[in-house]
Structure 1
Amino acid sequence: MKLKIKTVVFLLCTVCWMSSCQKEEVATQAPPPPEVNIYMTKAEEVPIYQTYVGQVYGAKDIAIRARVEGFLKGVHFQEGSIVTEGTLLYTIDQQPFEAQVAAQRGLVAEANTRLTKAKNDLNRYRPLAAKNAVSKSDLDAAEAQYEAAQGALDAANANLRAVEIQKGYTKIYSPISGIIGKTKAKVGDFVGRDANTIILNTVSNTDHILVEFFLSETQYLIVARRFLSETGAEKQNPEKKSREIELILADDSIYKHKGKLTFIDRMVDPMTGAILVQASFPNPEGLLRPGQFAKVKIQIDTAEEGILLPQRAVTELQGMNRVFVVDEKNTVQERKVELGPKVDNLWLIREGVKPGERIIFEGLQKVADGVVVKPVETKFKRIKQGQ
């Protein structure tokens, strides 16, 4: 019996000893290297863009004003609608002008009567003067009376045309085809007074729209050099078109029609150090309206052998930008990089990374300089601005 108990105790001790040895062996085994996603770098031609905030204007924004004083009698359009050139927009009370026209017509008739009398007197004096029946001075006086009556009639007709023109201004027509806005005056308002020169409305032609924005002096030099060089190249080679520019709308979508720079102001404002630049864009669908704000995206340079990295592959520590590179032994190397501008959801790397290197862009919290990792090459999705 004692022998059996000793045997059981011995077996239990042996099992416990073997178990503890296995635990020590497991504890001493190294953990597997962490798995990280890597991005393989490559050299490519990278266009570099700059965006500028601008405001949209119509190709023509024509203010509608009353050219004569009077009470507004009629509004003949629907606000916010499309009007064609020559459409009647407003009418002003014509009665005062009709009275002026009638009075001036009376003066014309009076001048015409005086001219007829002077002409008849002259026709009577001429044969009598030929026979010396009247003096030469009487003939001269008759001719002077005729010429004065002719001049008075011409003046009366000119005054009649002037008051008829004033009467015509009581009907206000659209000078261009375009979109008309909300009226600033209602029926019954007194308009056209010098002290209250109210703008009745504005008509905008939006077949094309203009976007105006400002550049600093440094930015102007960059854009102007490219603009002038491309314009010169286009003149030498008509088939080579100048580079088109893009418009980014308020919702960050990219406007589907491309535009061109059309105007650079003559001088830099010495107060602000900025210069006005204008770009033109087609607007066939009428999507864009005057007053909108948008960003103009212009290519200012090209990196011939640029390297792009996902933005999340770059981390900042104490003002230093860094990436983690995986070498041929799968060892992580921390490396300082110099960043260029952002390109979509990527960084343009100016210095610190070469083509063909493996850069960690996911799993950065698992790594440090000198750590061995298990790299997994993963395709990175580039998301272009406006998508």
Structure 2
Amino acid sequence: MNSKHSNKLYFGLIILVVLIVTAVVRSGLLSKTEATQIPKAVEVKAMQVIQQDARTNYEFVGQVKSKNEVKIMSKVSGNIVEKMVNGGDSVYKGQPLFRIDNKQYRSAINSARATLNKSKATLNNDQKDVERYKQLTAINGIAQQTLDTQVAQAEEDAATVAVNQASLQQAIEDEQDTLILSPVDGRIDVNDVSMGSYVVAGSTTMATVSSVDPVWVQFSMSENEYLDLVQLGNGTLPSTFKDNLKLTLSNGTQYPLLGRIEQVDKGVTDTTGTITLKASFSNPQNILMPGMFARVVTQGALHQGALLIPQRAVTELLNKTFVTVVTDENKAESREVTMGERIGNLWLVQNGLTVNDRVIVEGTNKVKAGTALQVTMIQADELQIPAKR
């Protein structure tokens, strides 16, 4: 009985061991199977490298400036008794802006006129005496010296008349200068003086008038950009650059009129290493205002058969640029490239890619070198360009 019980126990242990071993083996096999499964391919979108003729655009940040910005100062001193304009108004050349109290200047005119009339009367008497003395001298009635003295007196009085005439003219001009006129067409600033303010001749700025048509747009370019353009123009800025400047306003709209370069600074600035240029833009509707910022855009060189890729396909790291290409085996491969100018939302490739390459444009951040890819090829017009804000 005990032997039979022992046999049952023995066989039971064997069965238990077999079950455990089976479970371990199955577990190992499953792990091995999972480990050897092929990783799932990552979905990405890619584009064929574009080859086409492309013209480079140059872009510079510019600021609108007035061609003429005149500080209004009076030639005479006094209190402002009348304002004909408000700050911010558009004004024309010769338009009255302010009037200064002219009472003292009218009094000065009356005084100068009286002094002039008195000196004229004195001169008139002297001239009559000269005529009488000439007649007496002719008959030896008086000495020649007496005539000469009277002639000299008459000449002195004539000079006094001339001085008094100039004083009267100055008094008249001073009174006229109490009416302040705009020296240019333009717009007056809002920081003008108030009624009753006392202005000092040649010292107090009453207002500033800025011309608004045409206007400058001032911008700077790097030394290398300047050299590239000069080489393109065989020693001077090419006419395609100088005479065809476009302006993109801060809200993204295109200014309807073209501008042209009128001034180039004498040299490169020491602090920034840039060259300052001024372009003239007509502004008949006063859209452009001094102080506005805008982008100056102009055409550069034509690159025939250029290789282009979207800017979003390029990663910049430590002053180097990389793209992720799709290999013939549909795997990811990181490749260092040399890029040239940006043309719209595309980037000109100088080195590192061929027209046969495919570059990932969406999903780059999900892959690394060697990752298996499930590639969807798209065209340039299918790219979703982020909206500008």
TM-score (ref. length: structure 2)? 0.79
Q: Is the 8 A contact 1:330 1:372 kept in 2?
A: yes
Question: Letter of the aligned partner of 1:205 in structure 2?
Answer: S
Q: Deviations over 1:211-268 (max 9, x none)?
A: 223445445444555577465x75xxxxx78452233333344433322221012244
State the shift of 1:133 in Å: 2.0
Q: 1:267 to 1:79 in 2, by over 3 A?
A: same
State the shift of 1:289 in Å: 0.6
Q: 1:276 to 1:369 in 2, by over 3 A?
A: closer
Q: 1:357 to 1:286 in 2, by over 3 A?
A: same
Partner of 1:257: 257
Residue identity (%): 28
Secondary structure of 1:80 counterpart: coil
Partner of 2:211: 205
Q: Deviations over 1:39-98 (max 9, x none)?
A: 122223333344433321123222211111111111101322221221110000101111
Name the CA distance, whole Å, in 1 between partners of 2:272 and 2:319.
Answer: 31
Q: 1:284 to 1:186 in 2, by over 3 A?
A: same
Question: Letter of the aligned partner of 2:309 in structure 1?
Answer: L
Name the CA distance, whole Å, in 2 between partners of 1:206 and 1:53.
Answer: 20
1:94 equivalenced with 2:97 (yes/no): no
Secondary structure of 1:185 counterpart: coil
Partner of 1:181: 189
- In structure 1, stretches of 5+ residues that fail to align are 1-23, 235-239
Q: Is the 8 A contact 2:137 2:144 kept in 1?
A: yes
Q: 1:180 to 1:227 in 2, by over 3 A?
A: farther
Name the CA distance, whole Å, in 1 between partners of 2:43 and 2:387.
Answer: 31
Q: 1:162 to 1:225 in 2, by over 3 A?
A: farther
Q: 1:358 to 1:219 in 2, by over 3 A?
A: closer
1:75-90 aligned within 5 A: 75-90=83-98
Q: Deviations over 1:189-211 (max 9, x none)?
A: 110256xx222112222121102
Q: 1:199 to 1:45 in 2, by over 3 A?
A: farther
State the shift of 1:282 in Å: 2.0
Name the CA distance, whole Å, in 2 between partners of 1:69 and 1:221.
Answer: 53
Question: Letter of the aligned partner of 1:207 in structure 2?
Answer: D
Question: Letter of the aligned partner of 1:63 in structure 2?
Answer: K
| Cα root mean square deviation, aligned | 3.3
Q: Deviations over 1:21-55 (max 9, x none)?
A: xxx9x999968855532212222333334443332
How many aligned residue pairs are there? 356
Partner of 1:117: 125
Secondary structure of 2:145 counterpart: helix
Partner of 1:9: none
Question: Letter of the aligned partner of 1:285 in structure 2?
Answer: Q
Larger radius of gyration: 2
1:294-305 aligned within 5 A: 294-299=294-299, 301-305=301-305
Q: Is the 8 A contact 1:253 1:385 kept in 2?
A: no
1:159 aligned residue (154, 162, 167): 167
1:317-336 aligned within 5 A: 320-327=320-327, 330-336=330-336
Name the CA distance, whole Å, in 1 between partners of 2:387 and 2:286.
Answer: 23
Partner of 1:284: 284
Name the CA distance, whole Å, in 1 between partners of 2:357 and 2:150.
Answer: 109
Question: Letter of the aligned partner of 1:378 in structure 2?
Answer: I
Partner of 1:237: none
Name the CA distance, whole Å, in 2 between partners of 1:384 and 1:174.
Answer: 48
Q: Is the 8 A contact 2:243 2:261 kept in 1?
A: no
1:1-387 aligned within 5 A: 35-193=43-201, 197-223=203-229, 229=235, 242-270=242-270, 273-299=273-299, 301-315=301-315, 320-327=320-327, 330-365=330-365, 367-370=367-370, 373-381=373-381
